[in-house]
């Protein structure tokens, strides 16, 4: 089965030469999402507000494939301040249930558009 590009207007468009997501053999690889609204504007507010927007974007991409956050099997979270670790844990505890997705969370020096968070995901999409 060939890889298939996944696109939706319900999430911000790619800001470079990459796809919002690629579906291949029942796995969807979502590009990193930063807290942009569908117009491409960075969401104001604290990290929790920004993280909620990121998950909203991820979910919009998944919905395009008849999936939800429940289909996520792996997350990579990038923060510019590791002290926000607990904020992400709290939000994930609200959005996900056991078994939780596998996850890496790392601090980085900078992110696109001076965002404070970026999250990429891998989801299982039933064929």
Q: Give me the percent of the chain exceeding a pLDDT of 90.
A: 96
From CA 21, how far away is CA 10, in angstroms rounded? 13
23: β partners: 4, 28
* Span 41-90, pLDDT tens digits: 999 999 999 999 999 999 999 999 999 999 999 999 999 999 999 999 99
Alpha carbon 55 to chain centroid, angstroms:
5
Q: Please, how many CA atoms are within 13 Å of residue 41, restricted to the half-sphere of its CB? A: 4
CATH number at residue 55: 3.30.1330.40
pLDDT averaged over the chain?
96
8-state DSSP, 116: S
Q: Is the peptide bond before 99 cis (omega within 30 degrees of 0)?
A: yes
Domain, as residue range, for 109: 4-124
Residue 2: per-residue pLDDT? 84
User: Based on the structure, what is the number of domains in the chain?
Assistant: 1
pLDDT confidence tier of residue 126, bands split at 50, 70 and 90: confident
């Amino acid at each position: 089965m060939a890889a298939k590009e996944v696109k939706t207007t319900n999430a911000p468009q790619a800001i470079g030469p990459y796809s919002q997501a690629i579906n291949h053999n029942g796995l969807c690889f979502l590009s990193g999402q930063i807290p942009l609204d569908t117009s491409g504007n960075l969401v104001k507010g604290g990290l929790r507000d920004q993280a909620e927007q990121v998950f909203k974007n991820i979910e919009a991409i998944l919905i395009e494939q008849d999936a939800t956050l429940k289909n996520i099997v792996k997350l990579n979270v990038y923060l510019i301040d590791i002290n926000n670790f607990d904020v992400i844990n709290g939000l994930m505890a609200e959005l996900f249930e056991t078994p939780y997705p596998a996850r890496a969370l790392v601090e980085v020096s900078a992110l696109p558009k001076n965002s404070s968070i970026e999250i990429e995901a891998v989801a299982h999409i039933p064929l």
